Amino acid sequence: MTDKGNQRKPNVVIIMADQLRFDVVGETYTPNIHRLQQESVVFDRAYCASPLCVPARGSFFSGTYPNVNGSLINPWEPLDAEFGKVRPGTANLYELMEKEWDSWHTGKQHFHMDGIRENTPHTHWHTLEGNYDAFLKEHGKRHPGGPAFKGAVPEMAFGQVTRRKRYSVPKTGCFEEGFDYFYDGYITRTTIDAIRARDRSKPLLVNAMFVAPHPPLDIPEPWYSMYRDAELPANVGVWAKSQSPLQMYNLPGVIGGRYSREDWQRIWPVYLGLVTLLDHCVGQIVAELKNEGLYDDTLLLFTSDHGEMLGSHCLYQKMCMYEESVRTPLMFKFPASSGIVPKRIEEPVSAVDVLPTLCDYLDVATGDHAFSGVSLMNVMEQEASPQRQRDLFIQYDGNGARSNFQRCIVRGEYKLIADLFKDELFLELYDVVGDPQEQINLAFDEAQRERVEAMLSALRRHMAGTHDMLSLPPDAYEQFKRMYEVFHQ
């Protein structure tokens, strides 16, 4: 049963982390989130639509794939900025829900769409970008990070010209200003302020967008010193025999290749400290919802925009299609009256499924808006959750400008990646259930030819149907085998 028949609709609180690896969520590093999991429907194989902040959020908040909504990159390069914005007129969560709910946005604002504030006059926008710097200046505090936390990298602009840019590197440091002046301390306080300042005549909607555990890894005590050691996954600091060499042209390879497994052994404890800091923030918000008597009547959704490589495959940051980058935590804690029982679901799902699910559960009118995703309510309400055969798609078109390109299809336990740079194309096929650290590229296995060709065909249809600016050649598999068979041997 759902709350559709209730006179008053439930509160909705969405908490989104930034760059949170799915495999660090659990009792050890995130006890508050772990307790939330015990009360939630948890999707163990949830994927972002793009492993990059702005397009990931464009897809999450519109329920559409990047090619459909137009947001492909982070719009930092003026010549390519048009490819970083969701197209005008695209229906989104804020516009769909703000009239019935008392709508608040706190924290990072990476849903880039011209006129979003003008088109959402009923939403309270308390963004990090608009308020945090002034807050620090008022109190005489420094900003986390700084020049020492960035390094030089190459980046191609508009797919043609390489430029020298500066980007985050995994340097670690202790932010002496303390939690209250850290990004996420500030976001937590403004989120709690929003809960307290709500219009009590309406149900509450909060979108709390955290920065943690995104770099810079310049974090306050006690989290900076909380973990002295960490057990690293086996693929950290290890370049798999047949992973795409084109990643060496991509930002994750340019930076990640500079660090050894021993280096990552020093970096991981600080990242994990930042993960636990995020968990502390979530715990404070949950506690406030309970203090205000809202928790039992709230749909609380926790997720991340994408993941973090953190040395896996010798890569850093996101911007690639390996599990550590594209797989995200996703959980729905329903109101006590919903009748939906907590459970774990193995079915692969996408971030584009979240908005259709919310609209379905909350009975939100969507007009003639067509989602790329589907509602997950049916699978969550069933006692047993049968696996459905449904292809999911992920794309990457460059960081701050269109440059490196990757296309990906997830079908059941298999994932096919097409990595493109200039005139090169490299294919990777992984059994992500049997080989979760993606060490064995099955694309070279002739026994997998039929599977690869079928997934390539589906990927081509998706790209054509969503008006992708790229296309895959009809002989992509033969081309790949011809060019790289010797490399594999």
Architecture of the 11-386 domain: 3-Layer(aba) Sandwich (3.40)
| Cα–chain center distance at 119 | 25
Model confidence at 387, pLDDT cuts 50, 70, 90, reads low
Tens digits of residue pLDDT in 252-277: 999 999 999 999 999 999 999 999 99
> Contact, 472 vs 453, CB < 8 A?
no
Question: What's the pLDDT score for residue 1?
Answer: 38
3-state secondary structure of 418: strand
> Contact, 374 vs 287, CB < 8 A?
no
pLDDT at 329 over 60: yes
> Contact, 409 vs 462, CB < 8 A?
yes
CA distances (Å), origin 400, targets 69, 122, 146, 331, 354: 18, 31, 19, 30, 26
pLDDT at 361 over 60: yes
Alpha helices in 148-211 (DSSP H): 183-196
Tens digits of residue pLDDT in 29-71: 999 999 999 999 999 999 999 999 999 999 999 999 999 999 9
Name the nearest CA neighbour of 354 among 41, 31, 21: 41
pLDDT at 247 over 70: yes
For tokens 């490819």, name the residue.
83
Please name the residues in contact with 476: beta carbons below 8 A apart, sequence gap of 6 or more.
418, 425, 427, 456
Percent of all residues in the chain with a pLDDT value above 70, rounded to a whole number: 97
Question: What's the pLDDT score for residue 18?
Answer: 98
**HSE of 66, CA atoms in CB hemisphere, 13 A:** 32
For tokens 């909705």, name the residue.
12
Average pLDDT, whole number, for the chain? Answer: 94
- What amino acid occupies position 474? P
Query: In sequence order, what are the beta bridge partners of 163?
Result: 155
**CA 304/CA 317 separation, integer angstroms:** 14
3-state secondary structure of 405: strand
Percent of all residues in the chain with a pLDDT value above 90, rounded to a whole number: 89
Domain boundaries, the chain: 11-386
3-state secondary structure of 207: strand
**CA 272/CA 282 separation, integer angstroms:** 15
**CA 111/CA 59 separation, integer angstroms:** 9
CA torsion sign, 112 to 246 to 23 to 183? negative
pLDDT at 157 over 80: no
**CA 112/CA 82 separation, integer angstroms:** 10
**HSE of 8, CA atoms in CB hemisphere, 13 A:** 14
